[in-house]
Amino acid sequence: MMLCKTRTALANCQVGAAILLQLGTFDVLAPVQWTSWLSHTRPDPPTLQELEADILRRQRLQDNVRAIEAREREERERLAVEQSEALKLGQPQQAQVAVREPPQNLPPRGEPKAVEDPWAKARREAPPEQPSSWQPTAVRRRG
């Protein structure tokens, strides 16, 4: 249950509840503005203008997503038509993905060089490690 302290907040609560009913989706319980106000991370309840602006923003976002998906679908269809036409005309090498061939101007490879271990010198020079018991010391406090 929403607790509204002022008359304006009460009107906003009622409008907010009406907007929630208009959304008609059960996966969206409440706009984020209401959720943040109800969880006390926002000092004031959302205004009607703010909620309407959020609904318009969501609609613009959905329209943009639909436009991008349509563009990508058209591009895929165009590429599929181009590939099928290239295959029909007898040019399969253009329609297929190019296979990488090694360049011919590289010098021939010899035996791989032996890579020197960077820690070998440290292992030779370090004394052998022997486990020892640990004896903690008392800490001197400055006074």
pTM for this structure?
Answer: 0.41
Q: Is residue 23 packed enough to be buried (19+ CB in 10 Å), middle (13-18) or exposed (0-12)?
A: middle
- For 106-127, what is each residue's pLDDT tens digit? 666 666 677 788 888 877 777 7
H or E element at residue 62: helix 48-88
Q: pLDDT band at residue 93, thresholds of 50, 70 and 90?
A: low
Q: What is the pLDDT of residue 51?
A: 92
Q: What is the pLDDT of residue 1?
A: 39
Q: What is the pLDDT of residue 95?
A: 44
- Mean pLDDT (the chain, rounded): 76
Neighbours of 97 (CB within 10 A): 5
- For 51-70, what is each residue's pLDDT tens digit? 999 999 999 999 999 999 99
Q: Which two tokens stand for residue 92?
A: 């399969």
Please provide residue 8's backbone torsions phi and psi, each rounded to the nearest 5 degrees.
-65, -45
The stretch 39-45 carries a mean pLDDT of 90
